[in-house]
Amino acid sequence: MNRIVLTKVSIGYEQKIVAGNLSAEFRGGKLTALIGRNGLGKSTLLKVLTGFLPPLSGSVSIDVNGHSYDVAHTSKNVLARLISVVLTDKPDVDHLTVEEVVGMGRMPYTGFFGGLHAADREIVAQAMASTGTTAFAHRDISELSDGERQKVMIARALAQQTPVMILDEPTAFLDYGSKVETLRLLQQMAHDNDKVILVSTHDLDIAARYADRLVTIDHGIRDISQEELKTIIAQ
């Protein structure tokens, strides 16, 4: 069973606590949506889960196939095979084609200077097909719109083929149809591959349709029922 486990985690920057006493378990096979107003610490939490930011206290572990990895004490090379990430920060990938950027998802397996084998190229092609980016595979990513660029970043994460996927506002900049397609794809991948997929989103109506679990940061991490979400959407 794949899962992420948080144990009494405090998150923040330089001893300034944004949220504390966070304990939760996110299991594979489910798409979990992290929702809530700005300032709750959603993006900070995702950075802690991915190892980009250490917790101020407590621990985050990833359990995969009977092995447990403490995120804060696991090498970046190992984490790259465990977690794929799509954050709101724009990565510095200008002057690369879309296909090359998606191919970067295979680097944990090929190395930085390693070439892609036939199997890698097939995985890249499937990732682009799943995200609707095949049509501009040979365009420079700097020429793309924000929405197209977002799809490419999701494709790169898919090509990485990790048991855990963390996505911060993956539907930002997308039109409504693409938002629906993206969350539907992530839900299907979670169900079919026992992936732990956690997304933060402000698209509450789409999250209500496709997320298997809804959580927020509110004196800890707590679940939100569909009925409570309907009340929030109606406000």
- The CATH T-level fold of domain 3-234 is Rossmann fold (3.40.50)
Handedness of CA 114, 116, 117, 120 (dihedral sign): positive
Parallel, antiparallel, or unpaired for β 30-34 and 16-27?
unpaired
Q: Please check the confidence at residue 197 and state whether its pLDDT lies above 70.
A: yes
Residue with tokens 């998150």: 11
CB 177 within 8 A of CB 170: no
pLDDT digits (tens, 9 = 90+) for 124-135: 999 999 999 999
Residue 29 in contact with residue 190, Cβ under 8 Å? yes
User: What is the reported pLDDT for 87?
Assistant: 84
How far is residue 176 from each of residues 34, 181, 205, measured CA to CA in Å?
A: 19, 9, 11
Give the SS3 label for residue 50: coil
Answer with the residue of higher pLDDT: 133 or 16.
133
